[in-house]
Copies of this chain bind each other. A is one copy, B any other.
Amino acid sequence: MHKVLVPFTEGVEEIEFVAIVDILRRADIAVTTASLKGQSVQGRSNITIQADASLDDVMHDAWDMIVLPGGLPNAHLLRDDANVKAVVERLRAERKSIAAICAAPTALAAYGITAGMNVTAYPACQADMEALQPSSVYMDDNVVEDDFLITSRGAGTAVEFSLRLVAKLCGETKADEIRASIIA
C-alpha cells in the first residue's frame, strides 16, 4: 500500500487539503495528515479539521510521496518548518514523489527542489517562484508533472491535482475510476 504524508497547519486551504486526502484515500492510498502543532487545525475559511498525527511523530516513517496543501499562513509556515524541509529533502534523495498546490510550491522553490523543473503555483506566486529558482519554468497549466514533481494552482484545480497524484502512484486506470465515481 502506498503511503502519503500531508503536513498542514493554520490557514490551510480546506478544499485543497480535503481533496488531496479524500481522493487519495478513495484510491486505497494510506494517507496520514500531520499537523505542525496541536491536534486540530483551523483553515483559512475557519473550518477546523483534526490531524491524524503530529509531524514530529511520523516524519521519520517511510513515505512514497509528500503533498503540501496551500492557503496562508499554512504555506509559509510549512516553508519555514525544519521538519517539513527535512522530509522533502529526504524524499528527494530517495527519489520519491513530491507535490504541492497553490502557494505551497514556493516552499519547494525555497528548498531548491524546483531548480531546473517545470512548475506551476497560484498565479500571484509566479514572481516568487521565478525569483527563488530562476532555472525553473513557470507554466499556466492547472497541473504540471515533471519527473518526481507535481504542482498545481489553487482550490479550483485541487480535484484535478489529486487525481494526477492517484495516477502517479496507482496508474491512470485507477484515477479514471475515481474521476468517474466523483463525477469530475
**Chain A to chain B: the 7 pairs with minimum beta-carbon distance, closest first:** A156-B184, A154-B183, A155-B182, A48-B50, A22-B45, A156-B182, A156-B183
* Cross-chain contact A40 with B50 (CB below 8 angstroms): yes
Residues of chain A from 30 to 81 with CB closer than 8 A to chain B in the complex: 33, 40, 43-50
Besides the known contacts A40-B50, A122-B183, 14 further A-B residue pairs in the complex with CB atoms under 8 A apart: A14-B22, A18-B18, A18-B47, A21-B45, A22-B44, A22-B47, A47-B50, A48-B49, A153-B183, A154-B181, A154-B183, A155-B183, A156-B179, A156-B182
CB distance from A61 to the nearest CB of B (A): 18
* Cross-chain contact B157 with A183 (CB below 8 angstroms): yes
A25 sits at the interface (CB 8 A): yes
Bound together, the chains give a CA A144 to CA B50 distance in angstroms of 33
A134 sits at the interface (CB 8 A): no
* Complex interface: chain B residues within 8 A of A21 (CB): 14, 45, 47
* Complex interface: chain B residues within 8 A of A87 (CB): none
* Cross-chain contact A46 with B19 (CB below 8 angstroms): no
A26 sits at the interface (CB 8 A): yes
CB distance from A19 to the nearest CB of B (A): 5
* Complex interface: chain B residues within 8 A of A183 (CB): 122-123, 142, 153-157
